[in-house]
Structure 1
Amino acid sequence: MAATSGSWRCAARTDTGKVRARNEDAFLALPELGLWIVADGMGGHQNGDLASRLIVERLAELPDFLDLDQQVDWLRSTLHSLNRHLALDLTVHADQPETIVGSTVVALLARGDQACCLWAGDSRCYMWRGGRLFQLSHDHSFMEELIRDQRMSPAEAARHPSARALTRAIGAHEKLDLDMIRFTVYPGDTLLLCSDGLYQSLLPDTIGAAMNLPSPSLALQRLFNQCLAGPARDNISAVVIRR
């Protein structure tokens, strides 16, 4: 889907990929509210897509009369409420006793030239500015902890058998810890929200080259074409936003 509202243009898409039987990703693109989200569910069977769908459906209720700070507070409060629901209510009724019903989330809020990104898990937010690609979020994963705390190189950390295990997610623990970054968005900036199924398949240079294309729709098409030309072992979701 592609949409335009005010100074924002965006395009969003999700795909099951070539291996998974179900798509447990979900996305939200509401440029009229200045809100975009990608969520990557976990839990097996129908639990993963239930978690990601609950997140985007609930966050789509964001009140439009609030200023950016108030919207951030509302988003935080809503995600904490969803975390309690997923962690305490749904997980205990999952198909298997050890199953966690949860989801990553990366959300972008924008008002005027100010934007705020909140996230939990390993879905990412990138920015393309001035011919350079910046990763604005950092993954909440065991691999990231190995790199930061054990001083491993990314290649060494990636070989660890638990490298892709998440350390934070909505529904993973009773207490939710969200990360947030606030920044100014300038005309021509392009932002990308995506699940790990996209960035695990592509080199950063490939992502940057796609985001440099003239429109969000073209960028999104290039990203998915590149992903689906490969193994595409995971679900793929992305939202491209340009001011």
Structure 2
Amino acid sequence: MDLLSAWRSHARTDPGKVRSHNEDAFLALPERGLWVVADGMGGHQNGALASRLIVEHLAELPGGSDLDRRVQQVRRTLHLLNRRLSRELTLVSGQPEPVMGSTVVVLLVEEDRAACIWAGDSRCYLWRSGGLYQITRDHSLLQQLIDERQLSPEQAAAHPSAHALTRAVGASEDLALDVVEFNVYPGDTLLLCSDGLYQSLSGSELGSALNRPSPQLALERLFEQALAGPARDNLSAVVIRR
């Protein structure tokens, strides 16, 4: 039996209620133990291109049972794309500060092991035994201000540049990726999502949605709740369950 066949997932993206274009992209390959959410930035054309390139290149990576090797392949791919995107900035004319970049959050699984690799503020959550855990830590000015204890979470959120990213693929010549490895157990549910989704929902709303009987039902609840609000940004999510 294929050990990855135990994993089921459901994915969806929506432009939201305000934006006419969708700069998000996702990848869901449960048979290979690979899932991705990317949230592009730099205007529709540039942002959509950046997120699409990330998803397309990661989809081409070989599967396999060596998680450590696969983590290195993902890291190498993202570093190569970062160089390509940051280099292409010089080719964009007519903009004083051209940007072509994207956040990324990747989940890899192999038997009882999982690895999350990310840059930016797209997130990975784990729902386990009635508890919601945030696996990723945002690479944003908001999080940096809180970490450095300069401001309380409430004061930091009111900062005019609170949601500015401190890391993203394509944002600068050097890319720093974070990686967290953890064990996974039967019944675990994981959520990858862009900030447009989680900013619309409370932790209890996320948890109650992820507690539903299937990834599809969980995803339906997440989007139903998010789209009931302002939904000013693109929304993307992948729900994964073992």
- Give the letter for the 1:14 counterpart: T
Q: Which residue of 2 aligns with 1:138?
A: 137
1:82-123 Cα distance to aligned partner (Å, 9 max, x none): 0000011x2122351302100000000001110000000000
TM-score by length of 1: 0.96
Number of residue equivalences:
238
Structure-2 change in CA distance of 1:174 and 1:66 (3 Å): farther
SS in 2 for 1:45: helix
**Pairwise CA distance, 1:66:** 5.3
Residue 71 of structure 2 corresponds to residue 72 of structure 1: yes
SS in 2 for 1:70: helix
SS in 1 for 2:20: coil
Q: Which residue of 2 aligns with 1:165?
A: 164
Q: Which residue of 2 aligns with 1:124?
A: 123
**Pairwise CA distance, 1:151:** 4.0
Residue 131 of structure 2 corresponds to residue 94 of structure 1: no
2:23–2:44 contact (8 Å) kept in structure 1: no
1:52-63 equivalences under 5 Å are 52-63=51-62
Q: Which residue of 2 aligns with 1:177?
A: 176
Runs of at least 4 residues off by over 4 Å: none
SS in 2 for 1:39: strand
**Structure 2 CA distance for aligned equivalents of residues 124 and 242 of structure 1:** 16
SS in 2 for 1:224: helix
Structure-2 change in CA distance of 1:66 and 1:188 (3 Å): closer
Percent identical pairs in the alignment equals 66
1:94–1:101 contact (8 Å) kept in structure 2: no
What RMSD in Å do the two structures reach over aligned CA positions?
Answer: 1.0
Structure with greater helix percent: 2
- Give the letter for the 2:230 counterpart: P
Which structure 1 segments of 5+ residues have no match?
Answer: none
- Give the letter for the 1:18 counterpart: K
Residue 190 of structure 2 corresponds to residue 201 of structure 1: no
1:193-232 equivalences under 5 Å are 193-232=192-231
1:32-71 equivalences under 5 Å are 32-65=31-64, 67-71=66-70
SS in 2 for 1:125: strand
**Structure 2 CA distance for aligned equivalents of residues 225 and 135 of structure 1:** 21
1:44-65 Cα distance to aligned partner (Å, 9 max, x none): 1310000000000000011123
**Structure 2 CA distance for aligned equivalents of residues 65 and 198 of structure 1:** 31
**Structure 2 CA distance for aligned equivalents of residues 223 and 112 of structure 1:** 27
2:197–2:236 contact (8 Å) kept in structure 1: yes
**Structure 1 CA distance for aligned equivalents of residues 199 and 176 of structure 2:** 24
- Give the letter for the 2:117 counterpart: L
SS in 1 for 2:170: coil
1:29-85 Cα distance to aligned partner (Å, 9 max, x none): 001110000000001131000000000000001112351111011110000000000
